[in-house]
Amino acid sequence: MLLWGGYAIFGEQATRVHGEKVSFLFELLGMAIIAVVVFAVFGGADDFKKITSASLTNAVIMGLMTSLGAFTLLYALRIVPSANQVPVVVIIAGFYPVVTAILSYLFLGSRLSLVQWAGIVLAGVALVLVNWAK
């Protein structure tokens, strides 16, 4: 939570100065550095032997969606009229677990409990309340 929260704050500060495209390139550079460190510390070269065409396709789609999502967030952080609206942008972006739960239910057959459905409904209410015009 701290990492994602900090990501939005530092991202907004940088993007307001030099734009979302430059921030996006530096974000990708940061990801590459972390990937190298993770492989150095935790290994994983043997995992490449496990790649299948389906797993490769899914991983590439995941990477494309992650990148497009990150760029979209940086763009949104740049175009919000004031720093007071940054938390609203981040809260909307943070709604993704609810979207994941619903998509998992629809496409993967995941089952959600009544309490989990209630959480999704309450998250939706919270999203409306956060965006409510003053």
pLDDT string in tens for the chain (134-residue length): 788 778 888 888 898 899 999 999 999 999 999 999 999 999 888 899 999 999 999 999 999 999 999 899 889 888 888 777 888 888 888 888 888 899 999 999 999 899 999 999 998 898 888 877 66
Q: Do 6 and 69 fall within a single domain?
A: yes
pLDDT at residue number 91: 84
Query: Which pLDDT does position 88 carry in this prediction?
Result: 83
In a domain, 90, yes or no: no
Q: Within 13 A of 109's CA, how many CA atoms are on the CB side?
A: 0
Same domain, 76 and 54: yes
Which two three-digit tokens encode residue 66? 């992650």
Residues 52, 105 within the same domain: no
Whole-number Å distance between alpha carbons of 23 and 46: 33
Neighbouring C-alpha atoms within 13 Å toward the C-beta of 127:
17
Of 125, 126, 130, 124, nearest to 101 by C-alpha is 124
| 10 lies in some domain | yes
The structural domain count of the chain equals: 2
pLDDT at 84: 78
Predicted local distance difference test score (pLDDT) of residue 78: 85
| 71 lies in the same domain as 7 | yes
Residue 89 domain-assigned (yes or no): no
Return the amino acid letter for 16: R
Say if 123 falls within a structural domain. yes
> Which domain, by its residues, includes 129?
95-134
- Distance (Å, whole) CA 11 – CA 15: 6
